[in-house]
Amino acid sequence: MTTLLSRLTSFFSNATANDDEASYLCSQIIQDADQHLVASRLAEMLKNSGNAWPPKPTHAESWPDALKPYYTVYQRIAPFLPVHESSLDDAENRILIDKSRSLFAAVLDEEVDLPDVCETLEACSQSDSDLMPISGWLGFYSCIASLRHGYRWGILPVVREAQNEKSLQFPHELDIPWPYIQRRLGITSPGGSMSSNSYYNFDANRNIVYPITAGLSEEHNRTELWNSLLFVEIEDKALPLYRHISKAVQFLENDDIPSTISTLQKANDDCKAAFKHFYENMNDFNLVPSIWLPYCQGFQGWTLEGINGVSGGQNMLIRTLDSFLGVRPWPTEEEEALHLPLAQRNWLNSLRKFDIREVANQKGNEEVIKLLDHMVSQLRLWRMGHMRKMQRYQVHRPERNKMTAGKSLVRDGGVADDGAMVNHLKEMLSVRLRETK
């Protein structure tokens, strides 16, 4: 017993120390905002994430009274979403989907006072309003996105009867808040994102707030948790990297080459630590292969009106490294605006605009270029290894069409073809080492 207590005490002490360190680092980043454009964009991203990174959302406790019923609606409906065994009968699934959506509509109508919601959202959206903090907006975005995804699919695991739908009319209670969320956070997708469905879907103790495997086994719950937690925890490791990236840009622009080199060395170490954490925790215990695809991945999809859903490629660490290192192709502004909040996009675009590789080439410093190339190699190895590891999770599900949440329906069977996936990845990972102008 003494040993167990000492281990628990050590665990919570380390967690507290890590929280304190992250909080201090965030405050330093925000204080550095006036030192460089890239630094200001990093600070902006933290400020729009609850003055933290990973983001710190707050939920019903921070919302105006008129919005709190949405939290209640989700908790009431969540246990009815998943089923233990999927039907292979399309007609039966249509009945189940329609029944589930009717339940959604009835509970929303019962709990939500729509005129009060409209009035409150108008008031919250005023530029001088302090009715809801940004952390509350993040949590509200997560709640409404979860409700919209739940209504969109009707049942979980996802079935082809829902996948084959091209469009869908949502209840007014879910449609009316959405443009306010889009404007406040700067996103355009009608569905959720990695931010809404993962980053913002935790409480202060990192428990999932809007679950999709309620009432199922501990294995289901654990797989759902790690499906999001893995991306949140990798951002814990990435925060020092982001600051070192920002500092490297500032030092290089000021011709402080020794500081640039030492900072890039630290950034390479940060990158290695983040990838190592991801690999160590992406295992069959945390993410059960037979459970992940039907009970986690499917819910993250969208497919309506040709719009894709949540993708692991929306995570900020990979987007940051791509932008910093010049990995092509970059998404178009319209593509990125679908799912990435404006503050996140501004951070990425500041790195792309500075173009550290081109600046390093102009200055002719081989050591700086060598360190950037080493980081590119780390990124390439991680992505290739990650893709191969993901093959274990591409299990056959007879109740659904093949679908990747971030690329919608797959008609040609390519997702199950390891060679095709690896070739596609190689194409996407091509790095254009541009010539010095």
The pLDDT tens digits for 202-241 are 999 999 999 999 999 999 999 999 999 999 999 999 999 9
Q: Judge whether residue 160 has pLDDT over 50.
A: yes
pLDDT of residue 408: 59
Q: How far is CA 287 from CA 61, 230, 274, 316, in A?
A: 31, 10, 18, 21
State residue 406's pLDDT score: 61
Q: Which residue has the tokens 């202060």?
A: 204
- pLDDT for residue 201 is more than 90: yes
CB 99 within 8 A of CB 93: no
pLDDT at residue 407 in the model:
61
Query: Can you tell me the distance from the alpha carbon of 268 to that of 372, in angstroms, rounded to the nearest whole number?
Result: 9
pLDDT the model gives residue 413:
41
3-state SS class at 313: helix
> For residue 16, what pLDDT band results from cuts at 50, 70 and 90?
low
Question: What average pLDDT does the structure give for the chain?
Answer: 89
Q: Are 153 and 299 in contact (CB under 8 A)?
A: yes
pLDDT value of position 405: 60
Lowest mean pLDDT among 70-74, 81-85, 270-274, 406-410: 406-410
Domain-wise residue ranges, the chain: 60-199, 218-428
Considering only 15-19, 330-334, 381-385, which range has the smallest mean pLDDT?
Answer: 15-19
The answer to whether 339 is annotated as binding is no
d(CA 437, CA 435): 6
For 420-429, what is each residue's pLDDT tens digit?
A: 434 444 454 4
Q: Is the pLDDT of residue 172 over 90?
A: yes
> Over the stretch 94-150, which tens digit does the pLDDT of each residue have?
999 999 999 999 999 999 999 999 999 999 999 888 999 999 999 999 999 999 999
Cα→Cα distances 387→78, 327, 424, Å: 31, 17, 10
19-75: pLDDT as tens digits: 788 889 999 999 999 999 999 999 999 999 999 999 999 999 999 999 999 999 999
pLDDT at 271 over 90: yes
Nearest Cα to 97, choosing from 50, 155, 136, 145? 155
- End-to-end, the C-alpha distance of the chain in Å comes to 67
Read off the pLDDT of each residue in 341-351 and give the average, rounded to a whole number.
Answer: 98
Is residue 338 predicted with pLDDT exceeding 50?
Answer: yes
The first and second tokens of residue 359, run together, are 């600046």
Residue 435 confidence class, pLDDT cut points 50, 70, 90: very low
Residue 158, sorted as left (phi over 0), alpha (psi -120 to 50) or beta, turns out to be: beta
Report which of 163, 138, 153, 128 is spatially closest to residue 53, judged by C-alpha positions. Answer: 138
Q: CATH number for the 218-428 domain, one of 1.20.58.480, 1.10.287.110, 1.20.1440.230, 1.50.10.10?
A: 1.20.58.480
What pLDDT, on a 0 to 100 scale, did the predictor assign at position 432? 37
Q: What is the pLDDT of residue 239?
A: 97
pLDDT reported for residue 12: 41
Mean pLDDT lowest for which of 14-18, 35-39, 403-407? 14-18
Q: Is the pLDDT of residue 175 over 50?
A: yes
275, pLDDT greater than 90 = yes
Whole-number pLDDT of residue 328: 81
